[in-house]
């Protein structure tokens, strides 16, 4: 299961980047990046998964003493939570850029933003 998720994650990254780098519309590029971010998150979580083990939440069914032997690696989950939030932050920032650029240029076509070059 982890391998399938891993593979899916990588494929999502590829699809996301492919979309981001071939689409000319800014919004579509951001959509592509969102998908790639999801892919990265999936990869991280998939790495942490260990077969046959359960979620790292200590409650009545999982006392603290038995935890190390029965839970999956909790660290990637912590990482992914941070990564999700950072991802949404950057997405919001990019959307703000799209808005400002549309206001300034009246277009969302990235191939027109080439005044600065060489």
With binding defined as CB under 8 A, does residue 100 bind another protein?
yes
106 Ramachandran zone, left/alpha/beta (phi>0; psi -120 to 50): left
User: Around Cβ 34, how many Cβ atoms within 10 Å?
Assistant: 18
With binding defined as CB under 8 A, does residue 91 bind another protein?
yes
With binding defined as CB under 8 A, does residue 75 bind another protein?
yes
With binding defined as CB under 8 A, does residue 93 bind another protein?
yes
Q: How far apart are CA 84 and CA 103, in angstroms?
A: 29
Nearer to another protein, 7 or 63 (CB): 7
Q: How far apart are CA 24 and CA 27, in angstroms?
A: 9
Angle subtended at Cα 45 by Cα 39 and Cα 47, rounded to the nearest 5 degrees: 105
With binding defined as CB under 8 A, does residue 77 bind another protein?
yes
Question: x/- site string to another protein, residues 3 to 42, per CB under 8 A?
Answer: -xx-xx--xxx-xxxxxxxxxxxxxxxxxxxxxxxx-xxx
Question: x/- site string to another protein, residues 43 to 62, per CB under 8 A?
Answer: xxxxxxx---xxxxx-----
With binding defined as CB under 8 A, does residue 107 bind another protein?
yes
């Amino acid at each position: 299961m982890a391998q399938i998720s891993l593979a899916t994650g990588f494929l999502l990254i590829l699809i996301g980047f492919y979309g981001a780098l071939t689409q000319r519309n800014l919004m579509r590029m951001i959509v592509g990046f969102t998908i790639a971010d999801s892919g990265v998150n999936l990869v991280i979580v998939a790495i942490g998964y260990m077969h046959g083990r359960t979620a790292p939440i200590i409650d009545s069914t999982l006392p603290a003493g038995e935890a190390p032997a029965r839970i999956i690696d909790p660290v990637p989950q912590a990482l992914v939570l941070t990564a999700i939030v950072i991802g949404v932050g950057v997405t919001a920032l990019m959307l703000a850029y799209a808005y400002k650029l549309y206001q300034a240029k009246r277009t969302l076509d990235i191939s027109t933003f080439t005044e600065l070059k060489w």
